[in-house]
Structure 1
């Protein structure tokens, strides 16, 4: 009932332990707290909060319009509902190194287990769009050092994302990943790699965990979990997948309503009321409420 029983500190410890386990961790993108609860129930190892998904929910494109406060608020809403660790897309840190430091502490207070900071110029763009620009080596390293120095819990995972592949190719991506590890990154996230061989090259080049982004309709092939595990990838994210599935269902339902004047023909495709009540633990809330309002102190008890 209500919120997670596991503390943010314990979730961070768990995340670090699992990253070091040698097993591939699967983090699906949650677009709200309810979807996060489903991810947890289905047995995945963690939940991802995508900057693109948060932007889309607000009705904006993923071009740096979301604020750090908006991201922190959604991250807290999701993190406090689940026992799983949450990894958050912190974009470029929302400004200069001091802004990066503030963003890290905002997200730490929100209860997340990890976050990643990228090396795009401000304002950033979606990682799989053409025309991205990245900052120079010194600026990229400063962002990571600021993030690492700002965290108060040493178990908070600070991951470095690099978007340099589309601008300068794979060799530059390898060099940038190594630079960011030297700056203190706990893990690396090479965005928009073109094939399994490129993931293998990054895996060989660094001695920290590596994340693979299996977003649909992007630059990277949709490798299976078996393929990623065989390469030695430590974590895979599906950042916007559930939002895409949900919004596809929304559009199809509205088309049916427009044509048929009722949704009766697709009720078997809907989440049943009983299933929703199960997910939100309605019975526990009802029992708690009943126990408070029906309680009567026995005779002889102190007021």
Structure 2
């Protein structure tokens, strides 16, 4: 059985890549099938999406409904079942300053390589959706300061997200991003810029690692990694790609079963059962049974 990197080693690997300004691409994971599938493909980082994780866990909107306990359990399961560093969504930090401290400590203990905290009011709303409101800048600055102080590993990345662009404009979002950087955030996440020109402006203004949130059907243009790197971004996440593709596949195959009573001839691709057993680790189970069989 291959040796799994420690959580500290995974944090160090990702932090080094960010600090060395080597571009990072991170697909969204939302359950253990998506986590295992992405893990074996050699990405530098995986991103635990709040939308997808809440949807797969509870079947509910990403609207501040999932609790810290529910989310940290998912972080631990993802981190334990993969070898790739994970940056995990922690919404608003699940409350006030004390909650933020516990969130950072909990995510770090669970094995995350980074934690994302946003400046929305509670209950939060999913990015790229309307009606998001933000807390006062000074309150979020204190949250970032607490988050930085709470981590025990300096390689535990603090990702500070501002949702100010949609309701308060780009200038306010940039002002907040600069303040969050001064407070100690390692990565700045200006949510929902609405054009390539806005993304260029963010890259010119913010002298820090920047994260681009690329959502199919969202507000932000889907730029290539090469273009993002050119304009000053250091990381791109694709939080919805996995669960949107999964939903499309399920819709197709379940529709075929409903319409015809069979999957024979269905247009939706079917992942080979033999590959799924391998992905889930059945070969290790069979090897164990052969070794210890009477």
Per the normalisation by structure 1, the TM-score is 0.93
Q: CA deviation at 1:100?
A: 0.7
2:97, 2:142 within 8 Å by CA — same for their partners in 1? yes
Q: CA deviation at 1:81?
A: 1.4
1:23 aligns with 2:2: no
> Aligned in 2, Cα 1:161/1:255: closer, same or farther, shift over 3 Å?
same
> Residue in 2 aligned with 1:300?
none
- State how 1:196-207 maps to structure 2 within 5 Å: 196-207=196-207
> Residue in 1 aligned with 2:170?
170
Structure 2 distance, partners of 1:197, 1:47, is: 27
Structure 2 distance, partners of 1:245, 1:261, is: 23
> Residue in 1 aligned with 2:137?
137
Deviation string, structure 1 residues 175-220 (Cα, Å, up to 9, x no partner): 1000001111111011001122222222222332100000111111
1:89, 1:115 within 8 Å by CA — same for their partners in 2? yes
Deviation string, structure 1 residues 240-293 (Cα, Å, up to 9, x no partner): 210110011111111111110111223871111111122223223211232123
| Deviation larger for 45-54 or 196-205 | 196-205
Deviation string, structure 1 residues 142-199 (Cα, Å, up to 9, x no partner): 1111111111111100110000001111111111000001111111011001122222
1:208 aligns with 2:208: yes
> Residue in 1 aligned with 2:262?
262
> Aligned in 2, Cα 1:268/1:144: closer, same or farther, shift over 3 Å?
closer
2:50, 2:91 within 8 Å by CA — same for their partners in 1? yes
1:161 aligns with 2:164: no
Give the secondary structure class of the aligned counterpart of 2:265: helix
> Residue in 1 aligned with 2:36?
37
Structure 2 distance, partners of 1:292, 1:152, is: 41
> Residue in 1 aligned with 2:195?
195
> Residue in 1 aligned with 2:5?
6
Per the normalisation by structure 2, the TM-score is 0.95
Structure 2 distance, partners of 1:229, 1:270, is: 35
What's the Cα RMSD here? 1.6
| Deviation larger for 15-24 or 168-177 | 15-24
Gaps of 5+ in 1: 295-303
Q: CA deviation at 1:4?
A: 6.4
Structure 1 distance, partners of 2:272, 2:3, is: 24
Structure 1 distance, partners of 2:240, 2:230, is: 24
- State how 1:1-303 maps to structure 2 within 5 Å: 1=1, 5-57=4-56, 58-266=58-266, 269-294=269-294
2:30, 2:48 within 8 Å by CA — same for their partners in 1? yes
| Deviation larger for 270-279 or 160-169 | 270-279
Structure 2 distance, partners of 1:199, 1:138, is: 25
Structure 2 distance, partners of 1:115, 1:172, is: 23
1:162, 1:176 within 8 Å by CA — same for their partners in 2? yes
1:174, 1:201 within 8 Å by CA — same for their partners in 2? no
| Deviation larger for 259-268 or 57-66 | 259-268
Number of corresponding residues: 293
Structure 2 distance, partners of 1:238, 1:97, is: 29
2:204, 2:231 within 8 Å by CA — same for their partners in 1? no
Give the secondary structure class of the aligned counterpart of 1:264: coil
1:36, 1:82 within 8 Å by CA — same for their partners in 2? yes
Give the secondary structure class of the aligned counterpart of 2:75: helix
Structure 2 distance, partners of 1:253, 1:244, is: 14
Which is greater in Rg?
A: 1
Structure 2 distance, partners of 1:283, 1:63, is: 39
